Amino acid sequence: MRLSILDHGHRLRARLFFAATGRDAPDIVRTLLYRPDFFARPLLAITAPAMRGPSFWTPAEREYLAMTTARLHRCPFCLDSHAELVRIAGDGEPVDPRPELARVRAFLDRTQTGEAARPALPEQAVREALHVDLVWNIVNRLANAFGFVLRGDQLHTGTRALHRFGYRFPAFLLAGGDRTDLGEPVANLRHAVFEAPAVTPPSLRLAAEVGAPEPWRPYTALVREASHRITDADIAKLPATEDEIFEVTVAAAVGAALSTFDTGLRALADG
């Protein structure tokens, strides 16, 4: 982890939870439980239904989409985790790449370029795939930026816990902070990251979505476009507190992911 606050800055309830598990919490869990009102709570409200709710896509197919998104971002932490989850969700069997899955994967890839045409699939199936892709376009960038690694047996224990609990966290771990509810999970995520009170001003977080003033510009561009290239040195040379770095990194990752998500929604509307 490149930010010490993500290792040691948690609220008491999270620290007690980590101690009670008796295991070293995976980096993704530590990140989600650090100031969860800032982005994790609204993100998880999207994640659990997207990955384990009723869907046109089987759980194994959704894990396959997550795995292939991780491949796109060159995120070894997420690639290894979702490859294992494909196996778990598919009861040890590989995913059968049915034509519908290949079509939606190709569509999701095209949304990365800002241009996409609606695939020959039911609208709801495409929307469900877009929500899966939105979640992991965010998490992959954060995993790369913050230097997530798998330790010990986390590949096996962590993935089984995610599968068993359906990507849900105990509510008490996510409680507190801004509770604005706009009635739609993606709108809630936008509000939490770009508009709600935080350490950094909303103007900076909004700028990180598409660009940013110096000295943030090169770093936010890396988060959006090539998060796998971020190094410890990129983080160390930012003249900012770790909380500021955390917020701007999240804003850049969420902004980039929402851009591709919105591209997909436009393609559906233009269908």
The average confidence (pLDDT) of the chain is 95
pLDDT at residue 234 in the model: 96
User: What does each C-alpha distance from 5 to 10, 122, 223, 242 come to in angstroms?
Assistant: 7, 43, 19, 7
DSSP annotation of 73 reads T
Kindly write down the DSSP assignment for every residue of 108-154, as one continuous string.
HHHHTTT-----SS-HHHHHHHHHHHHHHHHHHHHHHHHT----TTH
Mean pLDDT of the region 152-168: 92
pLDDT at residue 255 in the model: 97
183: CB partners within 8 A, 6+ apart: none
- In the chain, the percentage of residues whose pLDDT exceeds 70 is 100
List pLDDT tens digits, range 17-30.
999 987 889 999 99
Considering the entire predicted model, what is its pTM?
A: 0.96
pLDDT at residue 217 in the model: 95
pLDDT at residue 86 in the model: 95
Q: How confident is the model at residue 32 (pLDDT cuts 50, 70, 90)?
A: very high
CA dihedral (95, 101, 104, 110) positive or negative: positive
Q: State yes or no: pLDDT of 94 exceeds 80.
A: no
Q: How confident is the model at residue 37 (pLDDT cuts 50, 70, 90)?
A: very high
User: What does each C-alpha distance from 38 to 78, 179, 196, 203, 262 come to in angstroms?
Assistant: 22, 10, 8, 16, 21
Query: Chain-centre distance of CA 167, in angstroms?
Result: 12
Residues 194, 21: Cα–Cα separation, whole Å: 33
Query: Chain-centre distance of CA 246, in angstroms?
Result: 14
Q: State yes or no: pLDDT of 93 exceeds 90.
A: no
Question: Are 149 and 227 spatial neighbours (Cβ–Cβ below 8 Å)?
Answer: no
List pLDDT tens digits, range 203-254.
999 999 888 899 999 999 999 999 999 999 999 999 999 999 999 999 999 9
User: What does each C-alpha distance from 107 to 57, 67, 82, 128, 240 come to in angstroms?
Assistant: 15, 16, 20, 13, 38
The type of residue at 196 is: A
Question: Domain extents for the chain?
Answer: 25-169+179-270
Q: How confident is the model at residue 168 (pLDDT cuts 50, 70, 90)?
A: very high
Q: Compute the residue count for the chain.
A: 271
